[in-house]
């Protein structure tokens, strides 16, 4: 099981360091892989504070070029130099607000993997897609552009469940994960309002290999409770 906390645009360097100090002092299950994904400005503090632990640090995005005239972007070699372990690509907020497409997500994932980073590539349908009966088509399209790699995982995040308090039922999540795995044989995380009180049921589904946690990852106790729920022991 992999539990990744996506902090989005929260926690500057000082707050990130304080959170990571508290997290490293918290007992986490040994059979669960734990990752935090701070904003770019807080990556260095997170890497330094979590050094010597099994907790990984991922970025929230990564450009497809190693360098160049791409103002506001960060490359995989830059992340590697910081000691960052991996990166998210294709989060629905990147698709919705910043023009990310299936093709650019695939390019970002391909380059990050080639540069030695682990990648969490996000896919998911909107509420309109689901209402139109197009969930399967959307998930197949978003997944098919990705290439199999042992360091790649996919995160299924139904867009209508992100930050809304709504959550896919365990059966809906399991069905979507099975579909994604039929297209690409990689582990699949569930994301979309994962909380301590629903984590165990969601993570207990056969095709669910972990969670990409948003708001609930901003509090150490809440995040640790989800990590504990992921442990089969």
Catalytic residue among 45, 100, 157, 177: 157
Compute the distance between CA of residue 157 and CA of residue 139 in angstroms, rounded to an integer: 10
Torsion sign over Cα 6, 133, 100, 140: positive
The greatest distance separating any two alpha carbons of the chain, rounded to the nearest whole angstrom, comes to 49
Out of 91, 93, 118, 125, the active site residue is: 91
Q: Is 157 a catalytic residue?
A: yes
SS (H, E, C) the chain: CEEEEECCCCCCHHHHHHHHHHHHCCCCCCCCEEEEECCHHHHHHHHHHCCCCCCEEEECCCCCCCCCCCCCCCCHHHHHHHCCCEEEECCHHHHHHHCCCHHHHHHHHHHHHHCCCEEEEEECCCHHHHHCCCHHHHHHHHHHCCCCCCCEEEEECCHHHCCCCCCCCHHHHHHHHHHHHHHCCCCEEECCCCCHHHHHHHHCCCCCCEEEECHHHHCHHHHHHHHHHCCCC
For residue 47, give both structure tokens.
Answer: 């890497």
How remote is the C-alpha of 78 from its chain's centroid?
A: 20
Residue positions annotated with a catalytic role: 91, 157
């Amino acid at each position: 099981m992999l539990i990744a906390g996506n902090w989005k645009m929260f926690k500057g360097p000082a707050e990130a360091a304080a959170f990571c100090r508290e997290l490293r002092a918290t007992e986490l299950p040994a059979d669960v892989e734990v990752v935090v994904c701070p904003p770019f400005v807080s990556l260095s503090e997170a890497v330094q504070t979590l050094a010597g632990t099994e907790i990984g640090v991922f970025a929230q995005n990564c450009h497809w070029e190693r360098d160049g005239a791409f103002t506001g972007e960060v490359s995989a070699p830059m992340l590697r130099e910081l000691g960052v372990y991996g990166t998210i690509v294709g989060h629905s907020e990147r698709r919705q607000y910043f023009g990310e497409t299936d093709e650019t997500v695939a390019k970002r994932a391909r380059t990050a993997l080639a540069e030695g980073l682990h990648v969490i590539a996000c896919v998911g349908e909107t509420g309109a897609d689901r209402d139109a009966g197009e969930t399967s088509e959307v998930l197949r399209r978003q997944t098919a552009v990705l290439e199999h790699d042992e360091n790649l995982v996919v995160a299924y995040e139904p867009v209508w469940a992100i930050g809304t308090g709504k959550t896919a039922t365990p059966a809906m999540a399991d069905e979507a994960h099975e579909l994604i795995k039929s297209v690409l044989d990689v582990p699949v995380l569930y994301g979309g309002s994962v909380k301590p009180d629903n984590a165990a049921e969601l993570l207990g589904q056969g095709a669910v290999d972990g969670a990409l946690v948003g708001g609930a990852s901003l509090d150490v106790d809440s995040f640790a409770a989800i990590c504990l729920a992921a442990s089969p022991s």
